[in-house]
Chains A and B, each alone.
Chain A
């Protein structure tokens, strides 16, 4: 039991349960399974993005360009769909993944080959990718009317009573879980975060792994681009502006250490859910809209403080007496 409580995820889960409980006192329907399913669906995109960001943060890097990538890729697929509605959606998703991959690879290449700190690279590409969206679209929107019914309907179709969007999120979660716990790449990602020098000595190609990690976050950004656009049915330059901070906040709340090496798939998912529940619940429990920003800010600070408590290193104990106590 004690070992069980050691896991941050358990605490986060408990916090989420308490949060749902609190919300239910003011809005009784909130804890209904149907509503919770919907909350999950609403949070899917954030969860997917948080997972992509997680692998980057684990290697002591950061990807600030994810939201811009999302915006760019979303615009590309929306324009494609508007121009050639015949392209089947699965193919369009592949296109989104590829476009995202290219943008991620650009980040990764600069980090890998030129050794520029990732925060600098992605601070640059953050504005470049969004600017590029303006350039390819000429500033024009792609609106619901120009999108094909399939384009919009794909993620909304229900399969076993659950929308495809949720299924995609579940699939991505499963893939990341496999990646992080069962593959050499996943372990290398952790190792790089824990001790980069030692990783070099252990034969891990740190630069290339970072490149791969940015490719992953890029692909995730691309996937989220399609999902976002088809969900909110407007593609414009303003899409997901500033959302990169939400993604990072989800990771942070999920206990992913910004210093790298610590964090889990479960944490990222729960962190995203936590934020998702807050943004979902605030409108329904009649809190003045002007309070929302301060509340989510406080939630982030609180989460960090609590996480830090959990993370505080138990120094090695020399005294025997204290050990048994």
Chain B
């Protein structure tokens, strides 16, 4: 597989009407879960097909089947009309299938060039790795993508998240892929990076690649996709050209009912100051952060990815300890030294990295939910299971969790349903201030509405919410005020009444109006 091949652009561009890849009758079950049942899907060269479905509908499972990581229980796969089997990820590469998976799947301690070429590095005459050519090719691939600013020799861990995404894409392109799959590539990105990604997708389209695009964001789907396929509960329930379908029609297909996602109308009843942060500083991450949060308020935090919002929130909630400055809760200064301290004080932080920081895979759902509230559900250190179940039931049903039982391991839930667990477990601690970091990252439209509705309800009860989000509509639709951060400092604070998207993006990027 040589990387120069991609320069001979559109080599053979078959009729757009003949699919490049066809899946038919695919079924896949996990112990106790039927993830996919008799689904079919076609991808066409030079076209973007959007795969749409609720959390747990089976999208990622299908991706893993297409990339040879899972084997289907039944069904057939064909590429350019030829039946193929994909017994391993390597085999999928061989057929030109490549994917940007939902989870980060790169190698932090390896160089950019290695990340791009791992598994198919150029060889010398003696079959040893040819580092020179590899670096050269890596540069070329990055250049063609317009990502020439990334140093091919840099360690991946030294890159920002957006650049990491670019590396993932570069890897996909280096394989001379004919089929590119992107599973929620935009979930962790903010506007600017999403725009860059879309340019790339256009580029890939022009190269004649068949693209599968998975996202829960309809604006993106309408912008970039040519076709759509909808899954519900592991079954294919509809497909067609995107221009022929309206959003409500698609949503009805995917949820089985109509969901009109309008942000909840709230009567902002903003009260006294609850939390005051001033002069909060960290040697390398942020400097002189100061703001106030009121009772019944939703305070949005906007910024480009990597602006340092999460770091500030983690300092407020005692997880990062090296902060200078003062935090005052209800008039009393607090200095949390751990998450336990801040939870006790009444501030909870709902982290953004679900898999790493949010859920404890290996423990059942109810134990995950009760974990931060254990002091309440236990009596002098002795567990009371009935209380734990009651707590878990109350909060998971509220968020419309899809699970077969509360004793199920959270690891077997889909990404979006795991996110619901994450929100449920911290809400269950009955806090005064709740900090939500990217609360709806990767969750489907129905659940998103549930989360938003729930947030509105919380503030109506007198809680205060800080919501870190990179999603503009969410920021604009939910916040009372918005703090914009740039490079570790507060750039500006806006009242939502005077706000429009453009101002926010400009402030965040540091471009003068």
Given A187-B129, A317-B285, also A202-B109 (CB < 8 A): no
Is B337 interfacial (CB-CB < 8 Å)?
no
Check if A202 sits within 8 Å of B119, measured CB to CB: yes
- Within the assembled complex, what's the spacing in Å between the Cα atoms of A321 and B283? 9
A-facing residues in B124-146 (Cβ within 8 Å): 127-129
- Within the assembled complex, what's the spacing in Å between the Cα atoms of A197 and B103? 9
- Within the assembled complex, what's the spacing in Å between the Cα atoms of A124 and B338? 40
Is B284 interfacial (CB-CB < 8 Å)?
yes
Is B364 interfacial (CB-CB < 8 Å)?
no
**A203 contact from B90, B104, B128, B160, Cβ within 8 A:** B90
B261 CB to nearest chain A CB (Å): 32
- Within the assembled complex, what's the spacing in Å between the Cα atoms of A199 and B106? 8
Check if B108 sits within 8 Å of A194, measured CB to CB: yes
Is B496 interfacial (CB-CB < 8 Å)?
no
Is B454 interfacial (CB-CB < 8 Å)?
no
Check if A204 sits within 8 Å of B119, measured CB to CB: yes
B407 CB to nearest chain A CB (Å): 24
B267 CB to nearest chain A CB (Å): 37
Check if B157 sits within 8 Å of A313, measured CB to CB: yes
| Stretch from B44-52, B199-207, B304-312 at the A interface | B304-312
Minimum CB distance partner of A198 in chain B: B105
Is A205 interfacial (CB-CB < 8 Å)?
yes
Q: Which residues of A contact B160 (CB under 8 A)?
A: 316
- Number of A-B pairs, beta carbon distance below 8 Å: 101
Is A289 interfacial (CB-CB < 8 Å)?
no
Given A187-B129, A191-B107, A194-B107, also A318-B284 (CB < 8 A): yes
**A201 contact from B89, B114, B286, Cβ within 8 A:** B89
B-facing residues in A203-230 (Cβ within 8 Å): 203-205
Is B342 interfacial (CB-CB < 8 Å)?
no
Q: Which residues of B contact A200 (CB under 8 A)?
A: 69, 89
A-facing residues in B469-487 (Cβ within 8 Å): 487
Q: Which residues of A contact B92 (CB under 8 A)?
A: 203
Q: Which residues of A contact B110 (CB under 8 A)?
A: 187, 190-191, 194
Of B99, B103, B160, B285, chain A has the most CB atoms within 10 Å of the CB of B285
Is B301 interfacial (CB-CB < 8 Å)?
no
Given A201-B89, A318-B307, A318-B311, also A187-B286 (CB < 8 A): no
Q: Which residues of A contact B158 (CB under 8 A)?
A: 316
A-facing residues in B163-207 (Cβ within 8 Å): none
Given A187-B121, A187-B129, also A201-B105 (CB < 8 A): yes
**B306 contact from A182, A186, A191, A318, Cβ within 8 A:** A318
- Within the assembled complex, what's the spacing in Å between the Cα atoms of A166 and B430? 68
Given A178-B128, A183-B129, A200-B69, also A319-B108 (CB < 8 A): no
Is B67 interfacial (CB-CB < 8 Å)?
yes
Minimum CB distance partner of B105 in chain A: A198
Chain B residues engaging chain A, CB cutoff 8 angstroms: 67-69, 88-90, 92-93, 99, 101, 103-110, 114, 118-121, 123, 127-129, 157-158, 160, 282-287, 306-308, 311, 487-489
- 7 closest pairs, A vs B, by CB? A182-B128, A198-B105, A203-B90, A203-B89, A318-B488, A319-B488, A201-B105
Question: Can you list 6 pairs linking A and B with CB atoms under 8 Å apart?
Answer: A187-B118, A191-B118, A197-B103, A318-B307, A319-B282, A319-B284
